[in-house]
Amino acid sequence: MTNKYSPYPVEKVIDDLMFFKKHYEIQMVRFQDDNFFINPQRSGGIAYLMLSNQIKLKWGANIRANVIPRIGRNCLKTFVESGLDSLAIGAESADAELLKN
């Protein structure tokens, strides 16, 4: 184990989604990654490629509460259009005072 964050490349995520959709007819996927929205180029890239490759899946992910204000409306629109239908919000990470308590 290391402290280094090393996410799958966007293309690998898309390839995996297309494989599971084709071979197992999955209808939904959940990204269990606390840092999924930290890099908007990566998360937005996944959503954009889901749209452009017509990968019709509902999807959900974890999101830290302090990241939500940094997501622009256009990016949020792309997420929803690509199938986003649920977010698990880590409200405990919204405020240092709350964490302390």
Structure confidence by residue, pLDDT tens digits, 18-75: 999 999 999 999 999 888 998 989 999 999 999 999 999 999 999 988 888 888 889 9
| Spatial separation of the C-alpha atoms in residues 43 and 65, rounded to whole Å | 16
Confidence at 12, pLDDT banded by 50, 70, 90: very high
Residue whose C-alpha is closest to residue 36's, from 69, 1, 10: 10
Give percent above pLDDT 90 in the chain.
Answer: 63
Residues 50, 17 contacting (CB under 8 angstroms): yes
Longest dimension (CA), the chain: 47
Report the predicted TM-score, pTM, of the whole model to 2 decimal places: 0.84
Average pLDDT of the chain, as a whole number? 89
Domain ranges of the chain: 10-93
The domain over range 10-93 is classified in CATH as 3.30.1370: no
Continuous H helices in 1-101: 10-24, 40-52, 73-81, 96-100
| Spatial separation of the C-alpha atoms in residues 27 and 73, rounded to whole Å | 26
